[in-house]
Every structure is written in C-alpha cells, then in structure tokens.
Amino acid sequence: MAQPIFTTQENRYDQEILVFLLNNQWYGLNVLKVKEIIRPMTIHMSPNQNTMVEGIIRLRDQAVPVLNTYQLLQIEEESAKYFIIIEHGDKTFALKATDVSKIERIQSKDMHIPDALSQEKDAFVSSVVTFNEEHILYLFDVEQVIHVIHPTHFEEDFIEEYQSERSRFSLVLIEDSPTMQLIISEALRDAGYEQITIFANGEEAWQYVEEQEETVDLCITDIDVPLLNGFDFTKKVRNVPLALPIISFSSLHAHVMLQKGKQVGINEHVQKPDIKQLLRTLDTYLVHQ
C-alpha cells in the first residue's frame, strides 16, 4: 500500500485516500488504515454480534467482522464487489464496498467539516473534500464505526489519582471525529483535566495557541485533521518556537507516527483508542514535572 508524503514543497499532498463507491456516492479512507482489499468471501453468522455486523469472514487465520456499510449509512444496499479490510489499533474489520476506484492524493487544507451532520449517513463522516460541483468525497469516520462496534469504556478506579493536581492545567484537543471528541474530553474531565479547549481542525487550533500561548499547557492532536494536519500544526508551534508539549493521539501506524513525529517535534505518540495510556502520558508531562 502506498505511503503518504510530507514535504515542504509547493503543491504537496499530506494524505493518500482510498476512494470507494457506495450507492453512487464516493467515500474515502486514509490508506494507512487499510490493510488490504479482497473479493467478497462467505460471511458466517456469529452469536451475540452487534446489529451493524453482518457476520464474520475467515481471512487466513483471523476471524474478521464484516460491517454492512449500506445499513450503517442507511442507504439502499447494492452488490458488493469488494471487502476493504481495515486495521485500527488492535481491531480489524471489513467494510463492504460497491466498487473501489483509486488512491486520491489530497491536502489537509482541502478537507472541510460539513456545517450540519445528520443522524444517518453523515454521522459516520468526519469531513468532506470537494473537487468540483459534481465530485464530492466523504471521508469515513473510522473512530465512530469502531465505537459503535466496540464502545470505549474508561476505568473509574484509575482516574481518581491526581484529580486536584490535574485541574490546574489547560489542554488543547485537536480531533475531527465528534465521537472521539466526546470520548476523550469526557474521560479526561472525569479524570480531573477540566480545562479542555476542543478544535475540529488544526488551523483554528494553531490560531488559538498562537494567541493564548501563555495559558496552554499541552496539546493533544490527531494527525489526519482538516485544514492543517497534526504534523504541520506541530511544525508551526516549533517554528515560533514554543516548548509546548504536543502528544499525538492517532490510529495511524506507530512506525509512521514515531518517525515523522520525531522529525516535526511531537513529544510522544499514543495509539488510539488507549485513553488510559494517554492519561498516563499527560500526567508524565504535567503532574509529575
């Protein structure tokens, strides 16, 4: 699978998106979240499965849940020509797709969050890319899908430590998935990090940090966010320069994150959706200093 390119040249692109078709509408996934694309296989029923899960397939030695993407988006079902195998942290699942088109190279500045998200199709869309009036690409919210299948829970007994100390610190969270915004912010506030300012894109977050640099203690950022991706956000902060701790919280492959993150000045990387480890990392940079 192709790898994303991050450069300082003009006309650069910072994401490669696998484009696939569902009911005459194009959707996209970051290629780093795609393990492989296969032809449809026999789907076996599984007891006690989520209603969004159609069944499981046997992919080599692994049992992989298959999501009925049409049901998920509440659109008319068509014959699926492909299964897209997704890796997200330690979770693997398959999405049904009518067709797979190509890999599209885009820039974060071309990604925009819709003004209003419905409760059906757009509930699983993190942002859109408009190429022209006739070509709109909806970027699939993998985090929301994962949360539907495997709801994220946080252990209350772990968060009681250091609650009063944590309340002194001000955090910035950059995350475009509404689901992950809610999960992360609620967990951290329950743990005592009550001062959290949330942004759905890196550009607004950078403007805020530039204006409020004296009051922000740490930033948590996803990477593939609209307008200004997490790597470019970090470069802007380091070019000031600011010694502000920046933690990446992303489902992208760890080797990509560690290599590129170190280059641009990210202090630590935590793999989604490990909120417990995220909290430990915040405590290391704030409470234990």
pLDDT tens per residue across span 153-190: 555 555 566 888 999 999 999 998 888 898 899 999 99
**Backbone torsion region of residue 227, taken as left when φ is above 0, otherwise alpha when ψ lies between -120 and 50, otherwise beta:** left
CA-closest candidate to residue 248, choices 257, 256, 240, 239 = 257
Q: How far is CA 274 from CA 157, 172, 205, 277, in A?
A: 16, 18, 23, 5
What domains lie within the chain, and their CATH numbers? 15-149 (2.40.50.180), 156-285 (3.40.50.2300)
- pLDDT, residue 13, reads 60
Is 57 in a helix, a strand, or coil?
A: strand
Work out the mean pLDDT of the chain and round it to a whole number: 83
Answer yes or no: is pLDDT of 142 > 90: no
Residues forming a β-bridge with 165: none
Q: pLDDT for 109-138, tens place per residue?
A: 888 876 654 444 556 887 888 776 667 888
Answer yes or no: is pLDDT of 260 > 90: no
Round to whole Å and give the CA distance between 35 and 64. Answer: 12
Task: Kindly state the average pLDDT of the residues 258-269.
Answer: 89
Round to whole Å and give the CA distance between 137 and 110. Answer: 11
Residues forming a β-bridge with 106: 15
C-beta neighbour count of 57 within 10 angstroms: 20
Q: Which residue has the tokens 């890999």?
A: 103
Q: Which residue has the tokens 């190429």?
A: 131
Task: Kindly state the average pLDDT of the residues 38-47.
Answer: 88
Round to whole Å and give the CA distance between 261 and 248. Answer: 8
What's the CA dihedral at 83, 86, 91, 96 to 10 degrees? -30
- pLDDT, residue 6, reads 39
- pLDDT, residue 118, reads 42
Longest dimension (CA), the chain: 58
pLDDT level of residue 237 (50, 70, 90 thresholds): very high
Q: Provide the whole-model pTM.
A: 0.76
- pLDDT, residue 155, reads 56
- pLDDT, residue 1, reads 39
Round to whole Å and give the CA distance between 84 and 203. Answer: 31
